[in-house]
Amino acid sequence: MEGTESRSGISSSVIADWSLVFWTLCSVILPVLITLWCSFQRSRRQVLIRDIFRKSKHDWHYTDLFGQPSYCCVCAQHILQGTFCNCCGLRVSEGCLKKADQLFLCKEIMMRSNGGAHSSMPHRWIRGNVPLCSCCVICKQQCGTQPKLCDYRCVWCQYTVHDECMMDCLKTEECTFGEFRDLIIPPYYLSTINQMRKDKRTNYEKVVPYCRKHWMPIIILANTRSGNNMGETLLGEFKILLNPVQVFDLSKIAPAKALQLCTLLPCNSVRVLVCGGDGTVGWVLDAVDEMKIKGQERYIPQVAILPLGTGNDLSNTLGWGAGYAGEVPVEQILRNVMEADGIKLDRWKVQVTNKGYYNLRKPKVFTMNNYFSIGPDALMALNFHAHREKTPSLFSSRIINKAVYFFYGTKDCLVQECKDLNKKVELELDGERIELPNLEGIIVLNIGYWGGGCRLWEGMGDEPYPLARHDDGLLEVVGVHGSFHCAQIQVKLANPVRLGQAHTVRLILKSSKMPMQVDGEPWAQGPCTVTITHKTHALMLYHSGEQTDDEASSMSEQDHVREQTDEDM
């Protein structure tokens, strides 16, 4: 009996042990299986969504959280996350995406031809998710105030109408394209141009009456990799307000190809808004020069700037500000472009010829819009670029970029790698050799701003100086004593060493290796001859907005200098 009881006790303990092992395995394996199943379903769902995105005529994007209360355009349910179209503004839940893609048409960049020419088109209404604080065009009361899918918005003119105010006449009424009618390329214009190209006719000027008298179509060129990565958001906002065919992502299409749209538009009427840093602007202006080489001078556009880079000195000079961080609505940006005045900007050819009897390499040739420099500021730019190439993910913020510049500037104050520059170089202005004082850097300026917002040529503004312009065919040449001197000039505690103005600048580096830069693109250069000559003019747009105190004082100082000059004459 005792043996039987002991055997039964052992078997029951074994069963208990196996039961514990089984439930332990279940508690471990079951969550893993559930996680794997969920991951499989999520990846499968993402594949299906990407397939819909790829085949759809909508510009669908997915978001984890909408920026305003949103309702699905299919099921009318409130949604926190889902997909939205960057062109027409549709918002749908993930489950309704396929159905929405079949039910709703996106903005048509070109009207479907039915055999005749068009000069107008009806409104294109979409229900729900109207912009905040929008008003009904019929009763002038606020739209979108009810917590449900309600009210209508036209994807072209951006007019909004209450459900109860929507009438049959509005559904067939001619769309006026709203406030930005003078900037939008109408779909019926492109369909007419397309038909003319098929008929091998190129007199596009005859199509202008189909549009309007003061038509100035705009082309948006955005660099999504510039500065603080706002380009992606701006692309969507511009596509909502304009014809999507006018908006280009420069990370996907080159400026030279995008600007060919100008050849389908009236001569001397197109305006281009470049969203990016000074480097992006230079890239676009190079593409404009290519148009001149191709014989397309009459289609050359005027260029405005939305500054997304780090320095943005050219943008600052032309009145577009030192940097954009979303503080100004896109609508106001378009208004500024419409009101801007056309001006010219000098562009310069920088030729670097290496020294040596057996040097068979071609000279390096650059195009300069802003400035050329040799010395401490070029060294800071060179160190910054080397650091950014190693770890590009760290340089996604304008503040971080400026902090890194500050670090390298402080380091150079202690090390002084560029000292005794005056013993290493010779400087000629319009063929006349200049005797150099003890310097660490030489900067050749084409524009008023330098170094992220400093008026280098003016300095403290406490002494008379020749007027400096960006369209007079003259360069301003200054010297600096080092990084600390540059910092003093930036906070208006010192003046630069003004070396003179010239139409042609020649700089000879006799020995050693020195850092150089052209418009923020640095490199280390051995003995050479640098020659800067005038290349061409660029047609730019100047925004004469509210002036800062520094700008106002600068203008008054320049007026005072002009008055003194007139008196002397």
pLDDT at residue 158 in the model:
92
Q: How confident is the model at residue 21 (pLDDT cuts 50, 70, 90)?
A: confident
SS3 state of residue 257: helix
Confidence at residue 490, expressed as pLDDT on a 0 to 100 scale: 83
557 pLDDT more than 60 = no
Q: Please report the pLDDT score of residue 75 as a whole number.
A: 93
- Residue 460's pLDDT band (cuts 50, 70, 90): confident
Q: What is the mean pLDDT of residues 186-198?
A: 83
* Angle (deg, nearest 10), helices 398-415 and 376-390: 130
The predicted-structure confidence for 172-181, as pLDDT tens digits, reads as follows 788 889 999 9
**Residues near 517 by beta carbon (within 8 Å), at least 6 away in sequence:** 372, 373, 377, 378, 381, 382, 523
Q: Is 556 a residue whose pLDDT tops 50?
A: no
481-495 mean pLDDT: 85
pLDDT at 149 over 50: yes
Confidence of residue 6 (pLDDT cuts 50, 70, 90): low
More confident of the two residues 533 and 226? 533
What's the confidence (pLDDT) of residue 114? Answer: 55
pLDDT single digits (tens) 265-280: 888 889 999 999 888 9
The pLDDT value recorded for residue 358 is 61
pLDDT in tens, 83-131: 999 999 999 998 898 899 889 989 888 876 555 556 778 899 999 999 8
CA distance 482 to 491: 15
Indicate the DSSP class of residue 167.
-
Pairing of strands 152-154, 218-222: unpaired
pLDDT in tens, 514-542: 999 998 888 999 999 999 999 999 999 99
In angstroms, rounded to a whole number, what is the distance separating the alpha carbons of residues 524 and 374? 10
* pLDDT for the residue 416: 64
Q: What's the mean pLDDT when you consider all of the chain?
A: 83
Is residue 568 predicted with pLDDT exceeding 80? no
Is residue 555 very low, low, confident or very high in pLDDT (cuts 50, 70, 90)?
A: very low
**Comparing 49 with 159, which gets the higher pLDDT?**
159
Domains of the chain by start residue, with CATH:
55-113 (3.30.60.20), 129-178 (3.30.60), 187-339 (3.40.50.10330), 348-536 (2.60.200.40)
Q: Looking at the predicted structure, is the pLDDT value of residue 1 above 80? A: no
CB atoms under 10 Å from CB of 351, counted, come to 16
pLDDT value of residue 52:
80
- The pLDDT assigned to 558 comes to 44
Contact by Cβ (8 Å): 314, 323: no
311-360 pLDDT tens trace: 789 999 999 998 888 889 999 999 999 999 999 999 999 999 988 656 66
Give residue 33's pLDDT. Answer: 84
CB atoms within 10 A of CB 308: 27
Is 90 exceeded by the pLDDT of residue 197? no
Residue 142 pLDDT: 92
- Residue in the block written with tokens 């019929």: 138
pLDDT over 50 at 559, yes or no: no
Q: CA-CA distance, 376 to 480, in Å (whole number)? A: 9
- pLDDT reported for residue 544: 86
Q: Which of 528, 477, 513 is nearest to 348 (CA)?
A: 477
- Can you give the length of the chain in residues? 569
pLDDT at position 385: 67
Provide the pLDDT for residue 205: 64
Query: For residue 405, is pLDDT > 80?
Result: no
Q: pLDDT by residue (tens digit) across 63-91? A: 888 888 899 999 999 999 899 999 999 99
7-20 per-position pLDDT tens digit:
566 667 777 777 77
Out of 39-48, 159-168, 407-416, least confident range: 407-416
Q: What is the pLDDT of residue 204?
A: 65
- Of 533 and 566, more confident: 533
3-class SS of residue 206: helix
Contacts of 21 (CB under 8 A, 6+ apart): none
Ramachandran assignment for 136, one of left (phi > 0), alpha (psi -120 to 50 degrees), beta (any other): beta
Residue tagged 């999520």 (tokens): 42
Q: Which residue blocks in 56-108 are alpha helix, DSSP H? A: 97-103
Q: What is the pLDDT of residue 513?
A: 87
Band (pLDDT 50/70/90 cuts) for residue 396 is low
Residue 58 has pLDDT above 70, yes or no: yes
pLDDT for the residue 397: 61
So what's the pLDDT on residue 49? 73
478 or 36, which is more confident? 478
- According to DSSP, residue 174 is labeled B
- What percent of the chain has pLDDT above 70? 83
